[in-house]
Amino acid sequence: MSLLLSIKQFSKRRLSWSLLLLFTLFFEGSALFFQHVMHLDPCVMCVYERVSMLGIIIGALIGLINPKHFTFFWMGMVIWAASSAKGLSLAIEHVSIQLHPSIFNTCSLVPEFPSWLQLNQWFPWIFSASGECSKISWQFLTLSMPQWLIVIFAGNLIAIAIIFLSQFAKKSELSLR
Q: Does 52 reside within a domain?
A: yes
Q: Does 116 reside within a domain?
A: no
Q: Does 151 reside within a domain?
A: yes
pTM for the model: 0.86
pLDDT value at residue 175: 46
pLDDT value at residue 73: 95
* SS3 assignment for the chain: CCHHHHHHHHHCCHHHHHHHHHHHHHHHHHHHHHHHCCCCCCCHHHHHHHHHHHHHHHHHHHHHHCCCCHHHHHHHHHHHHHHHHHHHHHHHHHHHHHHCCECCECCCCCCCCCCCCCHHHHCHHHHCCCCCCCCCCCEECCEEHHHHHHHHHHHHHHHHHHHHHHCCCCCCCCCCC
Q: Does 177 reside within a domain?
A: no
Residues 6+ apart with CB under 8 A from 49: 87, 90, 91, 94, 146, 149
Lowest pLDDT segment from 55-64, 79-88, 117-126, 158-167 = 117-126
- How many domains is the chain partitioned into structurally? 1
Q: Which residues of 147-159 are buried (b: 16+ CB within 10 A; e: fewer)?
A: bbbbebbbebbeb
Report the length, in residues, of the chain. Answer: 177
The catalytic position among 13, 14, 46, 177 is 46
pLDDT tier at 118, thresholds 50, 70, 90: confident
pLDDT tier at 176, thresholds 50, 70, 90: very low
The catalytic position among 13, 14, 133, 177 is 133
Q: Does 94 reside within a domain?
A: yes
* Segments forming the whole domain that contains residue 95: 3-111+127-166
177 is catalytic: no
133 is catalytic: yes
The catalytic position among 13, 14, 107, 177 is 107
Q: Does 67 reside within a domain?
A: yes
pLDDT value at residue 77: 97
Mean local confidence (pLDDT), 154-158 = 97
pLDDT tier at 141, thresholds 50, 70, 90: very high
Q: Does 171 reside within a domain?
A: no
Cβ(6)–Cβ(60) below 8 Å:
no
Task: Report the CATH number that the domain containing residue 148 is assigned in CATH.
Answer: 1.20.1550.10
13 is catalytic: no
